[in-house]
Amino acid sequence: MNKNDLINKVSDHTGLNKSDSAKAVDAVFDTITSELKGGGDIRLVGFGTFLVSKRKATTGRNPQTGASINIPAANVPKFRPGKSLKESLN
């Protein structure tokens, strides 16, 4: 499923037109992104948690040349599924 498919599903389930559904989907994504940028997390009970994990700087290898390269530290977005979501998939 891509973003357009998601917008169509939201439109079908809510009765909103596609333009309003697109605005709603974009608003959700923008809100999640801005909260994670600010260092916060988003907990959706029954669905899961979006959070930011700090990855340490490491040394890696270029597979073509074998040369060592430095991989800088980075903030990485993560998602932990909730219990209800896990159970619904099995």
Q: So where are the chain's domains? A: 1-38, 41-90
For 48-57, write each residue's pLDDT tens digit.
999 999 999 9
For 31-44, write each residue's pLDDT tens digit.
999 999 998 999 99
List residues bridging with 54 in a β-sheet.
75
**Residue 21 region, left (φ>0) first, then alpha (ψ -120 to 50), else beta?**
alpha
CATH of 41-90, one of 3.30.390.30, 2.60.40.740, 3.90.1300.10, 4.10.520.10: 4.10.520.10
pLDDT value, residue 90: 86
pLDDT band at 65 (very low <50, low <70, confident <90, very high): very high
